Each structure stands twice: as C-alpha cells, then as structure tokens.
Structure 1
Amino acid sequence: MRKWGLLLSLVLIIGVLAGCSEKSGDKSIKLAYVAWDSEIASTNVVREVLETKLGYKVEMLQVDAGPMWTGIADGSADAMVAAWLPSTHASYMEKYASDIEDLGPNLNGTKTGLTVPAYMDITSIEDLKNADTLTALDGQIIGIEPGAGIMMATEKAMEEYALSDYKLVESSSAAMAQELQKAYDAQKPIVVTGWTPHWMFAKMDLKYLEDPKGVYGGDEQIHTVVRKGLKEDKADAYAFLDKFEWTPDDMAAVMVAIQEGASPEDAAKDWVAANEDKVNAWVEGIE
C-alpha cells in the first residue's frame, strides 16, 4: 500500500509540474490573415519559421479584413503580418490603434488601385466615364471580398470620380484574378481592384489607372501587428515577428510558386530553405 501511495503521489507531482510547464511555456500561436495572394504567401512563411525554427504549433485563422483586425484587438488572435498602411487599412488602424501593437513595416513598396491590361487604351480613372469604355466594360469593376480596404477605397473612388453607372462586383482575391486572366487571354477589356506585390503583375502586362484625386493614396507598406501582451507571453515569437521583413521580390517568388501549383505550405517551405541567411537573421539571438 505504501508503494502505491508513493507512486500515486509521484504521478500527481509530475502531472502538476507538467501542467505548470505547459502553461508557462505555451508554444502555440494564432496567426490571422486575409485570403489575398500576398498575405497567403507571407503568413505561410511566418508559420514555417515559427514551427521549424522556434518550435511553435501555429493555428492559421483565415478571415476578412475587419475580423482580422478585431481578432488582434480582442486577443482572440496573436498576430498578423497583413496590415496595409497608411491608406488601405486606415479606418481599422484608427479604430483599434489603442488595442493593438504595431511592430512596423515587414514589406515596403506596395501599391493599390484600379488595374487594367496594358493593351487597353485608357490611362486614368477619369477615362472610365467615357460611354464607349463603360459599354466595353459592361459597367463592371471586378472587386474582391467586401470589407477589404481596397474595396472601401474603390467605393470612395466611384463617388469622387462620378462612376455611378458602374457596379463594384464583390468576389474574392482568387476569383478576381481568374476573371482578369480569362479576359487577358481573350484580349478583352476589364478593370479590377489590384495591388502589388501580386503574382498577376508577373504573369500579365498590366497597368494602374492614374488616380489624380489621390483616393488610393501613394505607395504603402505592409505592417506586422500583434495583440497587447504578446511580448510578455511569447517573447521569442514576438522577437521574430518584430524582426520579420522581406522584399516584394521575396513575396512574389512565393506567390508565383503557389500560382504555378505548389501548396502554400510547400512554397513557403521551399522559400525558407532557399533563403537560409535571411531567415537566420530573423531568429538570431532568440531563445
């Protein structure tokens, strides 16, 4: 009986210690992202580094832009690398600035705006008011998910440029790119909500329509945003996220690989393996 009592006590002590260790060193993290090709690429690269270099179990939360920001602000998600600032996500930043921590840019040189194939003979958003152009485009601007910053900017552009005869078609990033590719292959006119970096600019000869009223703003950055308290809870993950920074060419390499048939996980894994020096710099000195 005494042996059984000692054994039971030992099991209980080990269980308590294991529970304390698990609680204090929780190696799980939730990344929120929107299903844009650019953010699918970046978030999967971040996941690959967190899992293979820092030993985390990563949960990916694919949501629309609004819930992505809300999730970071209320703590139901830990981090995102998908905040387009200062213009595209300006309304979300204004709303949640006091509830999140902005770690700054992870990518410089982004741009958003209305995009057309280079073979179209229009150059400005103003040109969309032309009756022949309106007819050729069937009165449609092909958009992405409702609530996305670029969709809100496009709604504003339609007001500023008096494009009331047009309909902004809600779809998704993938559906928009499919429609663009189909029209491009047939050399037909089309206008879409576009942004760079995006694989479609590598695969097709496209151009942004000039925006003389400045509705879409100038060049932007993509920022890393984390929940309050992440630095204290998961110091190593926080340190990596704070260091994470890459280039439009880096992102484009992952996006093109995915577009050509690789899974997002495999494309990220291949990029991380091929860019060891850059990845090591992100995690150097992190314990």
Structure 2
Amino acid sequence: MKKLLSCLSLSTVIGLGFSQAVTAKETIVIGELNWDGAVAIEHVLKVVMEENFDVDVEFIAADQAAIWSAMDAGKGSVDVFPDIWTTLQDKAWEKFVVKGSKESVRSNRVPYIGTDGFFIPGYIQDEYGVKSVYDLAKPEIAKLFDKDGDGLGEYWPGASGWELVKTNQIKAKSYGFGEFFEPVVVTDAILKAQLKKAYRKKEGILFYYWTPEWIHYAYDLRKLEEPEFTGYSNDRKKDHKDYNPNGCYSYEDTDNWLEDSEITCANPMTPVYIGYSAALEARVPEVAAFLGNVVLDDAFVSEWIFSMSSEGEDPEDMAKAWVSENQDIVQRWMP
C-alpha cells in the first residue's frame, strides 16, 4: 500500500509540474522610461501586479515612439507606458488612444495633473531679478548661465528622445533668448548632477523641468513666468478641444520644425495617464481592468520620487513598502 501511495504521489507531482509548465504565467512588459516619476510608477505597478495577479512583470528600455508602436501591435513586446504626459505625446495619443483613432491603446480613467516650465535657482532670481522667460533675452543675463566661456548661456531642453526637446527650443527662439543661449541635451541624471554642482558653487543654471519631482523639495527653484496658454493654432490641431486659430502654440512637425513653429506661451497643465495595450483586455483581462482603475496623485508620485532620489531608497524597495502600507488605496484599484 505504501508503495502504491508513493507512486500515486509521484504521478501527481509529475502531473502538477506538467500542468504548471503548460499554464505558464503571463509576462507583462512595462516600457522603462528615464525620468524619476516614471521609474517610481513602473515599480509600484510591478509590485501591485505581481502580488495580486498570476503574472510576472518585466521592464524593457525603449524609445517612447517604439513603446507606442509595440503597444499598438499588441504582441506583448511592450504592454504598458507608465507615465504619458499627454501634451507632450499628443500625436501618439490622437493616433492610438482617442475615440475614432486606432484605439489600440487604452488608458486609466483618472489622470493626475502635471505642470512644467523653465526653472532657475532662487539665488539667481533674488540677485538679478530674472523672473520671466523674456528676461533671459539679454546678453548680460545669458552670461550668468555660460559655463564654457563661449559667450552663450546653456540651457537643458530635455533628454535625448523626448519630443519636448524640440518644443523647448522653439520656445527659446520665440521668447527671444534662443540667440543668447544654446541647448545642451544630456540625460536627466547628468542634469541633476549639474544642478547639485551649480547650487554648491552658486552658479547659474537654466533648465526645463516639471512637477511632481523631488528636486523641488531639495532646492529653492523658481519657475520663470510665461504668458498663459491660449490654444493650439496649427491646422493639425483643428479637431483638438484647445484649438484656437489665434492661439499661442503652433508646433509644425516638419523638416524645418524650428523655423516653421512658434510657441509664445506656457504649456497647458497636463493630464498624465498610464497607457496599456488594448490587447491585454483579451490576453489578461484582470490586469487590463486593474490598469484602467489605477488613480494616481501627484502627492503619491512626489513621495515616491523623494524616497528614491533624496533618501537613496531602491525603487523596488520603495514600491514594496508603499504598497504594504497603503493597501486601502491599492484595493480601490482592483477590478
């Protein structure tokens, strides 16, 4: 009898092993982005999905255009875009997400709101009275931001691969300070190292940035004044809710984009979404439902970024701790 039970036990184990091999876990692939808010969000999503659904979650670093293309294809090479700033990804949003488009990408229903603009240190503003983007269009002010001694100030328009690198250069031209400054495109990590050095030496630094972000906790940063957004004026925006033929924002995606475009105002406040491939609704419907339910808050995101960047906490450790301590919020995201 013992021998028979042992054989049955072994058969059962073999059968279970075979069943598990056949029904392997689905893998959810998140597009890995290179700014802190996105890094924080993608790790929180990973922890929540792996703890609540029968899936593995992986990251893959890719250009934003490639992430959109992969989500559109729906083959699982990339399933999730964790931090879509819609005003900066408007072309892809209109192509893949909005009703009447390909509708191959979905988004969570409730976004958080982000703001952005040009920032300088508080000590520069206090000493030299630089309060507006128009104040930068003076050679004596530009010299405050000249690190290499060539007579031109430097400014950071964003990192390689970001669409806003172009729009910030258009703004520099349109506001009149482009002739006194040159754009320097480096990674976000290098920019933050430069910011730390600038504060230590009380030097000038001009850069595009956004909220939420931990640097606003660590440094006295001042956002330069820009005229208020009055609408998109270029023809390709005719169907956009913010279209205005006399609006302040005209970005032409042409070979001569800098010469053909004019932007003389701040960006509108931006709804920021999580995007995911519509194919997930058939492949892993409970994960798709969860992603649609997630409601983030800029206070959450700032807290996550601060823990990672200022306190040096590992992103996955931060995510696990936050999820463990905020199960009431996490449960509201469940399908």
Specify if TM > 0.5: yes
User: 3-state SS of the aligned residue for 1:184?
Assistant: helix
> Cα distance, 1:71 vs. partner?
2.5
Alpha-carbon contact 2:106-2:278 (below 8 Å) kept:
no
CA distance in 2, matches of 1:29, 1:141: 38
> Cα distance, 1:173 vs. partner?
1.5
> Cα distance, 1:253 vs. partner?
1.2
TM-score under structure 1 length normalisation: 0.86
The residue that corresponds to 2:92 in the other structure is: 92
> Cα distance, 1:170 vs. partner?
0.9
Q: Deviations over 1:29-78 (max 9, x none)?
A: 10113110000011110001011122321011122322232232233211
| CA RMSD across the alignment | 2.4
The residue that corresponds to 1:122 in the other structure is: 130
User: 3-state SS of the aligned residue for 1:153?
Assistant: helix
Which among 269, 278, 281 is matched to residue 329 of structure 2?
Answer: 278
The residue that corresponds to 1:169 in the other structure is: 184
> Cα distance, 1:118 vs. partner?
2.1
Larger relative CO (CA 8 A, sep 6+): 1 or 2? 1
Q: Does 1:205 align with 2:220?
A: yes
Q: Does 1:154 align with 2:168?
A: yes
Of the structure 1 ranges 72-81 and 195-204, higher mean CA displacement relative to structure 2 is found in 72-81
The residue that corresponds to 1:266 in the other structure is: 317
The residue that corresponds to 2:144 in the other structure is: 136
Q: Which ranges of structure 1 fall in alignment gaps of 5 or more residues?
A: 1-9
CA distance in 1, matches of 2:65, 2:196: 28
Q: Quickly say closer, same or farther: Cα 1:213–1:281, change in 2 above 3 A.
A: closer
Q: Quickly say closer, same or farther: Cα 1:107–1:175, change in 2 above 3 A.
A: farther
Alpha-carbon contact 1:81-1:222 (below 8 Å) kept:
no
Q: Give the structure with the higher percent helix.
A: 1
> Cα distance, 1:159 vs. partner?
2.6
> Cα distance, 1:111 vs. partner?
0.8
Q: Structure 1: which 4+ aligned runs deviate by more than 6 Å?
A: 10-16
CA distance in 2, matches of 1:254, 1:213: 30
The residue that corresponds to 1:55 in the other structure is: 54
Counterpart mapping for 1:36-115 below 5 A: 36-75=35-74, 76-85=77-86, 87-97=87-97, 98=102, 100-104=104-108, 107-115=111-119
CA distance in 1, matches of 2:323, 2:56: 17
Aligned positions, number: 272
Q: How many percent of aligned residue pairs carry the same amino acid?
A: 23
Of the structure 1 ranges 60-69 and 128-137, higher mean CA displacement relative to structure 2 is found in 60-69
The residue that corresponds to 1:6 in the other structure is: none
The residue that corresponds to 2:297 in the other structure is: 247
Which among 9, 21, 24 is matched to residue 23 of structure 2?
Answer: 21
User: 3-state SS of the aligned residue for 1:109?
Assistant: strand
CA distance in 2, matches of 1:258, 1:238: 27
User: 3-state SS of the aligned residue for 1:192?
Assistant: strand
> Cα distance, 1:14 vs. partner?
7.6
> 2:116 is matched by which residue type in structure 1?
T
CA distance in 2, matches of 1:62, 1:105: 25
Q: Does 1:195 align with 2:210?
A: yes
Q: Deviations over 1:91-119 (max 9, x none)?
A: 33234442532324554221111111122
> 1:190 is matched by which residue type in structure 2?
I
Q: Quickly say closer, same or farther: Cα 1:55–1:19, change in 2 above 3 A.
A: closer
Alpha-carbon contact 2:96-2:105 (below 8 Å) kept:
no
